[in-house]
């Protein structure tokens, strides 16, 4: 085999690793920007939340939920309320983008390690 043929075979692996790194950077940047945008838009929307409008009703509603559905229903309602908060939504978006980007960087490193082992 010639030297040119050997380097041509290794080049696609390096290209794949480079694409994975670029994809990881893009996903991370867009995810963090998106999380920041969601948080900023939701906190500065000017619309009053349901909790602000019905502050005195929250305790009665929690009691009624506990009576009708038990502790599990109450826990589910609290989880749903927490997921509707802008900070929680932004955190979930940011965490998901970090995990996907970390996966891209990990697989890019595996590609580099496989390329070096050849």
pLDDT digits (tens, 9 = 90+) for 22-53: 999 999 999 999 999 999 999 988 777 666 67
How many domains are there within the chain? Answer: 1
Is residue 16 included in any domain, yes or no? no
Four-CA torsion 64, 70, 75, 80, nearest 10 degrees: -50
Binned at pLDDT 50, 70 and 90, residue 57 comes out as confident
Is residue 12 included in any domain, yes or no? no
Find the domain containing 41 and state its range. 22-117
Is residue 11 included in any domain, yes or no? no
Compare 104 and 73 and report the one with higher pLDDT: 104
Is residue 6 included in any domain, yes or no? no
Compare 35 and 78 and report the one with higher pLDDT: 35
Is residue 17 included in any domain, yes or no? no
Compare 66 and 107 and report the one with higher pLDDT: 107
Is residue 92 included in any domain, yes or no? yes
Is residue 8 included in any domain, yes or no? no
CA distances from 99 to 24, 79, 91, 93 (A): 10, 22, 12, 10
């Amino acid at each position: 085999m010639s030297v040119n043929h050997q380097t041509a075979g290794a080049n696609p692996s390096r290209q794949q690793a480079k694409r994975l790194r670029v994809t990881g950077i893009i996903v991370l940047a867009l995810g963090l920007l998106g999380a920041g945008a969601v948080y900023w838009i939701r906190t500065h929307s000017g619309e009053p939340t349901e909790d602000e409008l019905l502050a005195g009703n929250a305790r009665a509603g929690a009691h009624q939920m506990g009576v009708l559905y038990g502790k599990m229903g109450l826990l589910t309602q609290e989880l749903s309320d927490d997921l509707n908060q802008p900070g929680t939504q932004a955190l979930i978006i940011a965490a998901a983008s970090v995990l996907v980007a970390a996966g891209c960087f990990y697989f890019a490193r595996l590609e580099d390690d496989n390329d070096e082992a050849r």
